[in-house]
C-alpha cells in the first residue's frame, strides 16, 4: 500500500499566484497547480491530502496562535498518516521549525517543513523539487522529528536559520550537521536522528502562551535606557544577542540593569550574534560579569530556538530555578553543551 502524507498548507511563496500587484496567496490555487504536475501522481510518491488554511498567510504574519493551529492539526491526524509536510513561507520558517518541536511532545512521525523561493506557478522554480523531496522523506523515513527540508539539505528544525534571501539554498544549520543530504539519493545521517519516544503513544500539544518574551541585539554604544525599557514589567524573558563568545560592554549600569531584572525573576539568556559558535561566559571578563548578574548561557542555540524554548518553559507552571536549568538542558536536540 502507498504511504499517506498530510500536507498542512499554511501559505507562503510556494503556492502564490501572480497578480498585477505581485505574488499573493490564493485559495485553492496550489492544489490546482499540483494537479497539473505529473510527477505528483507517480506511484513512487505517497498519497497525500491537503489541508489548506484559512486564511493563507504570508509567513511574516505568522503568530504563536498559528503555530498552535499547525501543532493541533498534526496531533489530530497523527495516527491517520505516515508523515506530515508543512508548506510555509521562508521568512519565518526557522521560527516555526524551532517552535513545533517543543509544542509536539511525543512525536513519532516525521514532520517536514518546506516552501520555496520561487512559486510553483513559475516555469523555473524550486517549489517542485522541495515539495517532492519533502513528500518522499515524510513517507519513507521514520524520523520522529520536526525537520526543515530545503534545497539539498534536511535540517533539524530547531537548528535551522535562514541565511540567504536570494539563494535556492536559503537555510543552514550552523552548529549541527544536516540530518540528511539530497543528491542522487536521499541519505539520512541516522546516528544524528533523535530516538522515538519510548512510552507516549499520543502527542501532547503545549501551546506557547507566554508572549512576554523578546530578543535584543546588542550594538556598540547601545544606551542602557534602551535595555532598561526593554526589561520593564511585564517582561518575563529576554534573549540577549551578545558579541562573539557571549560578551557585552563592560558597563556597570548595564550589568546593574540586567541584575535588577534577574532579581525580579526575568530570565535572560545569552546567545551569540555570530552565525556559528557557542557562548562561553567564562572566557572573558565581559562575559563573566553577565554571569554574575544572573544571565545564563544559551550555548550554541539559535536565537529562534532560544526564543521558542523560553516561551515554552514560561508557558508552564515552573519555578525560575527550574526554568533556568531546563533552558541549559538539551530537550529536543536544540543545543550542544561545550
Task: Name the DSSP letter for residue 197.
Answer: P
Q: Give the count of beta carbons closer than 10 Å to the beta carbon of residue 61.
A: 12
Q: What are 185's three cell numbers?
A: 539519493
- For residue 291, count CB atoms less than 10 angstroms from its CB and return exposed for 0-12, middle for 13-18, buried for 19 or more: middle
Upper half-sphere CA count for residue 40 (Cβ side, 13 Å): 22
Q: What are 108's three cell numbers?
A: 513519532
CA angle (263 as vertex; 225, 64 as ends), nearest 5: 75
| Cβ-Cβ contacts under 8 Å for 301 (sequence gap 6 or more) | 269, 271, 309, 334, 335
Rounded Cα distance between 213 and 286, Å, is 24
Phi, psi of 325 (to 5 degrees): -65, -45
In the set 10, 13, 92, 96, the catalytic residue is: 13
CB 297 within 8 A of CB 246: yes
Catalytic residue at 13?
A: yes
Burial 146-168 (b: 16+ CB within 10 A, else e): bbbbbbebbbbbbbbbbeeeeee
Please give the positions annotated as active site.
13
Amino acid at each position: 500500500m502507498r504511504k499517506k502524507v498530510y500536507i498542512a498548507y499554511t501559505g507562503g511563496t510556494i503556492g502564490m499566484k501572480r497578480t498585477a500587484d505581485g505574488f499573493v496567496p490564493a485559495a485553492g490555487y496550489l492544489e490546482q497547480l499540483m494537479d497539473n504536475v505529473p510527477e505528483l501522481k507517480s506511484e513512487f510518491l505517497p498519497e497525500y491530502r491537503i489541508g489548506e488554511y484559512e486564511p493563507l498567510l504570508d509567513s511574516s504574519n505568522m503568530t504563536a496562535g498559528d503555530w498552535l493551529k499547525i501543532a493541533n492539526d498534526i496531533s489530530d491526524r497523527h495516527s491517520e498518516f505516515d508523515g506530515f509536510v508543512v508548506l510555509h513561507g521562508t521568512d519565518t520558517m526557522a521560527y516555526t521549525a524551532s517552535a513545533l518541536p517543543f509544542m509536539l511532545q511525543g512525536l513519532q512521525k516525521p514532520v517536514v517543513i518546506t516552501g520555496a523561493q520561487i512559486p510553483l506557478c513559475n516555469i523555473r522554480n524550486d517549489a517542485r523539487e522541495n515539495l517532492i523531496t519533502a513528500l518522499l522523506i515524510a513517507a519513507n523515513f521514520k524520523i520522529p522529528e520536526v525537520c526543515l527540508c530545503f534545497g539539498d539539505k534536511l535540517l533539524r528544525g530547531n537548528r535551522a536559520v535562514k541565511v540567504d534571501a536570494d539563494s535556492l539554498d536559503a537555510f543552514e544549520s550552523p552548529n549541527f550537521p544536516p540530518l540528511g543530504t539530497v543528491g542522487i539519493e536521499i541519505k539520512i545521517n541516522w546516528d544524528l536522528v533523535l530516538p522515538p519516544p519510548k512510552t507516549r503513544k499520543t502527542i501532547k500539544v503545549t501551546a506557547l502562551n507566554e508572549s512576554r518574551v523578546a530578543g535584543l541585539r546588542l550594538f556598540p554604544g547601545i544606551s542602557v535606557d534602551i535595555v532598561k525599557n526593554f526589561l520593564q514589567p511585564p517582561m518575563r524573558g529576554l534573549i540577549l544577542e551578545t558579541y562573539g563568545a557571549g560578551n557585552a560592554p563592560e558597563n556597570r549600569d548595564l550589568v546593574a540593569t540586567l541584575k535588577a531584572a534577574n532579581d525580579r525573576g526575568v530570565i535572560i539568556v545569552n546567545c551569540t550574534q555570530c552565525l556559528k559558535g557557542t557562548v562561553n561566559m567564562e572566557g572573558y571578563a565581559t562575559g563573566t560579569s553577565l554571569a554574575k548578574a544572573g544571565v545564563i548561557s544559551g550555548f550554541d542555540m539559535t536565537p529562534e530556538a532560544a526564543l521558542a524554548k523560553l516561551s515554552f518553559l514560561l508557558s508552564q507552571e515552573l519555578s525560575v530555578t527550574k526554568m533556568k536549568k531546563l533552558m541549559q538542558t538539551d530537550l529536543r536536540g536544540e543545543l550542544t553543551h561545550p
